[in-house]
Amino acid sequence: METINLLIWSFDALLGLCLLWLAWRTLSAPDLYKAVVLFVAFGLLMTLAWVRLDAPDVALAEAAIGAGLTGALLLSALARLDPAVDDQSIVTQKDNRPKSESVQWAAFMSLILVAIGLGYSVLSLPLKFKGLSPEVTEQLVNSGVENPVTAVLLNFRGYDTLLEMAVLLIALLGVWSTGNKPKYDKPFSSPVLDFLSRLLTPILILVAAYLLWVGAHAPGGAFQAGSILGAVGVLLLLSGWRLQKDSSLLLIRLILLAGPFAFVAMAVITMMIEGQLLQYPPAHAGLLILVLETTATLSIGATLAALFLGGPPHLKNEESP
C-alpha cells in the first residue's frame, strides 16, 4: 500500500532531521545543564534510529548506555565542576565568543568539501551490497551460537573483543590514576529512594542475566548485559550503598580483571590446542562463548560502575573528612 510507505518515509525523515537539529542545539547550548539533557534526549532518539535501521543489538546497547549511564555520568561530572553546586553562572556557561570571519569561512568550506566527498562515496556504493553476510551465515553452524552478531563479536572477530576489554581496563586505570578520592552519597536520604533502589536492583540483575542468555539466539549479548550491570552499580552508588567488608575491595579488583584475563587465557589455551589465536573447537564453541561472555559481562558492569565512581573504591573508615 502506498500510504504505508509514505508513513514510514515520513517517520524516518522526521527522525533523521530531528537528530540533526538536536545535535546542533546540543552543541550550541550555552548552558551546560541544557546541553546535558539535550544529549540524553539525543541518545533516546538515536536508539529509535538504530531500531529503524534494523540493528537491534546496537539499539539495546545505545538504550542501556545512552539513556541510563551517560546521563548519570554527565550529570555527576557537571555537579563536580562547581565547588558547591550553588553558583553555576561562573562554570556552566561556555565561552561563546564568535570566531573571526576568515576562520568561519575556512571551516565552512572544509565542511562542504567533506560533505561532497562523503556524499560521492556513499552514492557510488552499489545499492544491493551483501557484504560478508553470506559467509557469516554459512559458518554460523560452526560458531556455536545462532545470533550472527554474537558469532562475529565473540568467535570470528574475538580478537577485537579482547582488545576492547583491554581498552576498557586501561580507561579505568586512567580514571583511577587522576588521584581524586571518590565521594559517596549520603545513605538512603529518602525512604522512596531506598525502596526504589532495593526493588530495581534485583530486577535489573535479572534483566542483565536474561540479555546475556538470550544473546546466543536473539539480540543481546555481553556488552548489553554488562551495561545493565553497570547501571545497577550506578543506582546503588546513588542510593548511598557502601562497601562493608575489607575483602570486598580485593573482590572488586578481581572482578574488574576477570574479563580481560579470561579472554587472554582463552587465547593462550586455544593457541596451544588448535594452533591459532581464539580458534574454538567447533564442538565446544557454544560453551566457551558462554564462559567468555559471562566473565565479560561481570567485568564490563564493574568497570562502568567504577568509572561512575571516579576513583578506587574504599571503605567508610578510610574516608578523608
Residues 202-231, interacting with another protein (CB under 8 A): 203-204, 207, 211, 214, 218-220, 228, 231
CA distances 87 to 79, 82, 84, 182, 232, Å, are 11, 8, 7, 22, 31
What is the residue-wise DSSP string for 30-55? SBHHHHHHHHHHHHHHHHHHHHHTT-
Q: Which of 19, 23, 25, 176 binds another protein (CB under 8 A)?
A: 25
The nearest distance, CB 52 to another protein, in angstroms, is 8
Binding residues with another protein: total (CB under 8 A): 71
Q: How far is C-alpha 111 from the chain's CA centre? A: 29
The nearest distance, CB 70 to another protein, in angstroms, is 8
Which CB, 85 or 265, lies closer to another protein?
A: 85
- Reported as half-sphere exposure (CB side, CA atoms, 13 A), residue 200 has a value of 16
Tell me which stretch binds another protein (CB under 8 A): 31-39, 244-252, 254-262, 286-294: 31-39
The nearest distance, CB 61 to another protein, in angstroms, is 10
Q: Which of 113, 190, 254, 274 binds another protein (CB under 8 A)?
A: 190
Which residues inside 117-146 make contact with another protein, applying CB under 8 A? none
Ramachandran region, residue 310 (left: φ > 0; alpha: ψ -120 to 50; beta: rest): left
The nearest distance, CB 243 to another protein, in angstroms, is 18
Rounded Cα–Cα distance for residues 258 and 264 (Å) = 10
Q: Which of 78, 140, 209, 252 binds another protein (CB under 8 A)?
A: 78
Which residues inside 42-71 make contact with another protein, applying CB under 8 A? 44-45, 47-48, 51-52, 56, 59-60, 63-64, 67-69, 71
User: Quick check: 20 binds another protein (CB under 8 A)?
Assistant: no
Among 36, 37, 44, CA closest to 18: 44
Q: Which of 119, 189, 265, 271 binds another protein (CB under 8 A)?
A: 189
Rounded Cα–Cα distance for residues 39 and 20 (Å) = 12
User: Quick check: 96 binds another protein (CB under 8 A)?
Assistant: no
CA distances 276 to 238, 264, 272, Å, are 45, 13, 8
Contact 260, 169 (CB under 8 A): yes
Contact 41, 57 (CB under 8 A): no
User: Quick check: 22 binds another protein (CB under 8 A)?
Assistant: yes
The nearest distance, CB 29 to another protein, in angstroms, is 8
User: Quick check: 289 binds another protein (CB under 8 A)?
Assistant: no
Look up residue 117 and give its amino acid. G
User: Quick check: 177 binds another protein (CB under 8 A)?
Assistant: no
The nearest distance, CB 114 to another protein, in angstroms, is 28
311 secondary structure, DSSP code: S
Residues ≥6 apart with Cβ < 8 Å to 75: 36
The nearest distance, CB 191 to another protein, in angstroms, is 10
User: Quick check: 1 binds another protein (CB under 8 A)?
Assistant: yes
The nearest distance, CB 28 to another protein, in angstroms, is 9
